[in-house]
Amino acid sequence: MKHPVSMMMTLALALTASIAGAADTPPPLTCSTVALKTQVLPGEWLILRHVLRNTTTSKVMVVGDDQWGFAFRLRSRAIGGEWRMSAFWPPEGIPSGDPPFASFQPGEEIQALHVMESSLSQAVGRYEVQRVLRYSLWPDFTNPPAGAWAGAIECTPAQVEVVTPTGIDAEAFKALGPYPLSSDRWEILRSYPGSWYAGYVFLGTLGGGIDGSPYSMVWTRDNVRDGIRSGPAYVRPDLEYRAAKYHDQAVLLLAAVQTFLGAHPDFPLSSRLRLKQAGLLAYFERYEEARALAKQALAEADPAEDPIWKRDVQNFLDLLVEKGYLKPE
């Protein structure tokens, strides 16, 4: 699987007739979707696993860099109601030249995870969420390989239920509004680290600080320290301010992720949060603990996790060895 796990922005779009297949022939691929967390709070994101299979005895060629399609849509509906579009990811610009094509072997199955920002706000009830893959017809001036398939595949929908918040989740929902994850995410970590909403904050970005990858946490910390120690005098006040700010943010982040994982050890993507925690431990020079936690995160990662994420874990551990903070194993 080559496609990265995507963070989908919710858009209110009308479902058009173009979602139908490009041909009358049945698609050679099948797709199913399940929600890793089937009961969600209003405004909570959805964590979806998609499984795509070549059900034929022949190789299938599809347009795009990988088997997940040139573009896709996600849509949701209340059970018994009408479909409505909830997300759309178009290709950027107009393609030119011969397109790439992915090869899908007979019987091959691949999986992917997507974290989807949900439009399910205050409407408590049952919903279906469906992904639709689309392998677009390429412009006429290109040369697709013989037998390349283009069309659309409607995945089997996932079932989710929006439930009423209780306890600290209810407090967060009341204070932050119907879309808590669109509010001040630092405030969620400060005031409601034990809420389900806090887990998704760690999957997204906070901005303006050290909330990047574990690799960048250590790299940024060391660069700031080097600048304070040996850089020009005129930059030191700014670097000292940044160092103090990053320290305070790291203290908050580490306490919040520990609180969340203690309250919700069953969070579907807890391995990603453990990796974030490992980076924070390394930030505070707790390197052996950081290595153990990073290896635990790698071992516990969902089988459908993006290989790029797994390489990030190894790059982080390699950095700690390269800088002399850890001995090679």
Could you give the 3-state DSSP secondary structure of residue 32? strand
The arithmetic mean of pLDDT across residues 242-256, rounded, is 95
The arithmetic mean of pLDDT across residues 252-267, rounded, is 96
Q: 38-47, 84-93, 174-183: which has the minimum mean pLDDT?
A: 84-93
The arithmetic mean of pLDDT across residues 275-292, rounded, is 96
The pLDDT-based confidence of 205 (bands split at 50, 70, 90) is: confident
The pLDDT-based confidence of 268 (bands split at 50, 70, 90) is: very high
pLDDT digits (tens, 9 = 90+) for 20-74: 333 456 788 999 999 999 999 998 999 999 999 999 999 988 877 777 765 567 7
Amino acid letter, 79: I
If you classify domain 7-162 with CATH, what class do you get? mainly beta
Tallying the residues shown for the chain, one arrives at: 329
Decide: 281 and 254 in contact? Cβ < 8 Å.
Answer: yes
Angle at 323 between CA 319 and CA 326, to 5 degrees: 80
| Predicted pLDDT at 93 | 46
- Percentage of the chain modeled with pLDDT above 70: 81
Q: Taking the model in full, what pTM does it have?
A: 0.83
Calpha distance 91→71 (Å, rounded): 6
* DSSP sequence for 148-164: -B-EEEEPBPEEEEE--
Paired tokens of 87: 């997300």
- Mean per-residue pLDDT of the chain: 82
The arithmetic mean of pLDDT across residues 168-176, rounded, is 95
Q: 85-89, 196-200, 298-302, 303-307: which has the minimum mean pLDDT?
A: 85-89
pLDDT digits (tens, 9 = 90+) for 95-140: 556 667 788 899 999 998 888 877 666 678 888 888 888 876 665 5
Could you give the 3-state DSSP secondary structure of residue 86? strand
Amino acid letter, 198: A
Domain range summary for the chain, segments of one domain joined by +: 7-162, 205-322
Could you give the 3-state DSSP secondary structure of residue 285? coil
